[in-house]
Amino acid sequence: MENIDKFLDLFSEFNLVIEPRNKQIKKKPESKTNLSVNRSVADLKKTLNRLTKEYKQARRSFKHNKISRQELFDFEWRIFEIQEELKRFEDNDIN
C-alpha cells in the first residue's frame, strides 16, 4: 500500500478545503520618529556618497597642486563625521 493510500484511509472522515491565500501583509504603522530616523539615515548615506566622490576629485586636485593639504584634510574630516553619525544611528537602532 502506498503512503497516499494509507493517508487517505487514516483521514477519510476529514474534508480538506484549500483556499488561496490573500497576499495582504499588514504592516505595523511606523511612528514618526522611525520615519524621521530612516529619512535621516538615507540622507546621510546620500551625502556620504556625494562627499566620497568629491573627496576623490579633491585628491586628484591635490596631486596637481590645485588645493592645499588643509582643504584635503577638511574633506576627509567631513567624511569621518558623517560616518560617525551613521554609526550612532545604527547603534541606537540596535539598542
Q: pLDDT of 9-65, one tens digit each?
A: 877 777 767 677 776 666 666 666 777 778 888 999 999 999 999 999 999 999 999
pLDDT of residue 87: 92
In the three-class reduction of DSSP (H, G, I as helix; E, B as strand; rest coil), residue 88 is classed as helix
pLDDT of residue 3: 82
Measured distance between the N- and C-terminal CA atoms of the chain, rounded to whole angstroms: 57
DSSP structural state of residue 13? T
